[in-house]
Amino acid sequence: MRLGAACLAFVTLSGCQATNQMADDFARERAKGVVNTVVADRFPGVNAAPVTDCIIDAASAREIISIAGASVTGVTPEVAQEIVGIAQRPEAVQCIAANSLTLLGG
C-alpha cells in the first residue's frame, strides 16, 4: 500500500514538474518575442537574438512573466525600461560581450 502511495506521489510530482516546465518554457518564449522587439527597436542593425537570450537568462521568473504579459498587452515604456535594466546587469553584460562576434555578424 505504501509503495502504491509513493508511486502515485512520484507520478503526481513528475506531472506537476512537467506542467511547470511547460509553463516556464511558454512564458520564456513569449518574453523572448517582446525582448527581441525592444532590442531590435533600440539597436537597429544588431542581431537581436543573442542579446535577447542573454537578457532572458539574466531575468528572474517574475520578470519573465511580467515581460511575457507585454506580448498580449503591448510593450509599454515601463516594460522597455525593465528590459534595459536587466540588460545592464553584470551577468547580462558578460553574456552579451561573450557573444559580441555573433552580434557583429561574425
Residue 62 counted as domain residue? yes
Rounded Cα distance between 40 and 49, Å, is 9
Residue 5 counted as domain residue? no
Contact predicate 71/31, CB 8 Å = yes
Tell me: pLDDT of 7 over 50: no
pTM, rounded to two decimals? 0.75
Residue 15 counted as domain residue? no
Residue 8 counted as domain residue? no
Tell me: pLDDT of 97 over 80: yes
* The pLDDT value given to residue 8: 40
Residue 91 counted as domain residue? yes
Domain span at 56: 27-103
Mean of all residue pLDDT scores within the chain:
82
Report pLDDT digits (tens) over 35-47. Answer: 999 999 998 888 8
Q: How many domains does the chain have?
A: 1
Residue 13 counted as domain residue? no
Sign of the dihedral defined by the CA atoms of residues 67, 69, 75, 76, in that order: negative
The three grid cell numbers given for residue 101, joined into one nine-digit string = 562576434
Residue 79 counted as domain residue? yes
Report pLDDT digits (tens) over 72-90. Answer: 999 999 999 999 999 999 9
User: What is 52-81 written as a DSSP string?
Assistant: HHHHHHHS-HHHHHHHHHHHHH---HHHHH
Rounded Cα distance between 88 and 95, Å, is 11
